[in-house]
A = this chain, B = another copy of it.
């Protein structure tokens, strides 16, 4: 075992992919000389050169579309859109082109591109730099959406995503990059991105979450555990397609569920999951499924207001208690 950060894990995964497959290259704003807005690609320019660690102009639609086109052309591009906030400028390319090409062409073309972006709030970056739009992407057929929440997944998911012949959106929560954790000294690292992962087993209630909210969910489960409430914590890991089976089987055991999602409550992925539980496990439920989401406001800058807007460990604990009527 060795101790590395989530950021290191992403960087290792990038290096490995570049070494394994010469069709792989990384493109995006400041991935090269700057070393990446979150320093994920620091050092890679020296190792792989300008062609494969490709700095782009500020042109989200242009270079994301170019990544999609390069994938069509036989490459395996990794496009880094600095943050999901800026991806609002390239949604046309992702939704109208990447997600539809296979279908529109009657199965003639595939688009094996991986588009990485940082997501989420928690760093006092205010209203234009704190979105969590995972459910927007999870809504779109033709895309796969993944969200590594652990060091191991950060290390392993990229390669699994590159092996997918279709476009994959990879969300990296900005607050995770500095997280440290133990990881095996050597691979294999590949992750099964068709399956959700149980991060903690439990029998009284199921907490379903992903990405940046996983640490909060585990902390809540820990505290509740000390009080004798045993929570199962499910890390969705892949947001599209959802591992509904895993969700339902857990709820069938615990009969109670709380979904934690940093997206704004209305229209959130948490809503979708609640609906799927309604449809697939209604008669198993002892209490209504609860959601802990972000308040319905653009994210404020002030620390205390931002904290009040986002899902908190306390809010998760309270929600679990409510479903248990304790």
Contact = CB atoms under 8 A, between A and B. Distances in A.
Interface in A260-278: 263-264, 266-272, 274-278
A88 B92 contact: yes
Interface in A238-289: 240-242, 263-264, 266-272, 274-279, 282-283, 285, 287-289
A289 B278 contact: yes
A151 B140 CA distance: 31
Contacts of A298: 99-100, 103-104, 141-142
Contact of A240 (B127, B133, B263, B266): B266
B279 A291 contact: yes
B96 A266 contact: no
Interface residues of A, number: 55
Contacts of A141: 264, 296-298
Contacts of A128: 96, 100, 104
A230 interface: no
A121 interface: no
Contacts of A266: 138-139, 240-242, 272
Contacts of A140: 264, 267
A139 to B, nearest CB: 3
B270 A275 contact: yes
A136 interface: yes
A85 interface: yes
Contacts of A135: 135, 139, 267
A300 B142 CA distance: 13
Contact of A138 (B99, B138, B267, B300): B267
8 smallest beta-carbon distances between A and B, as pairs: A139-B267, A274-B275, A282-B288, A271-B275, A271-B272, A100-B127, A88-B92, A103-B298
Given A103-B127, A104-B128, A271-B272, 6 more contacts: A88-B96, A103-B298, A136-B136, A274-B275, A277-B278, A279-B289
Interface of A: 61, 85-86, 88-89, 91-92, 95-96, 99-100, 103-104, 126-128, 131, 133, 135-136, 138-142, 240-242, 263-264, 266-272, 274-279, 282-283, 285, 287-291, 296-298, 300
22 contacts: A61-B89, A85-B96, A88-B96, A89-B92, A96-B128, A103-B127, A103-B297, A104-B126, A104-B127, A138-B266, A138-B267, A139-B266, A139-B268, A240-B267, A266-B272, A267-B272, A271-B271, A271-B272, A275-B291, A278-B278, A278-B288, A279-B291
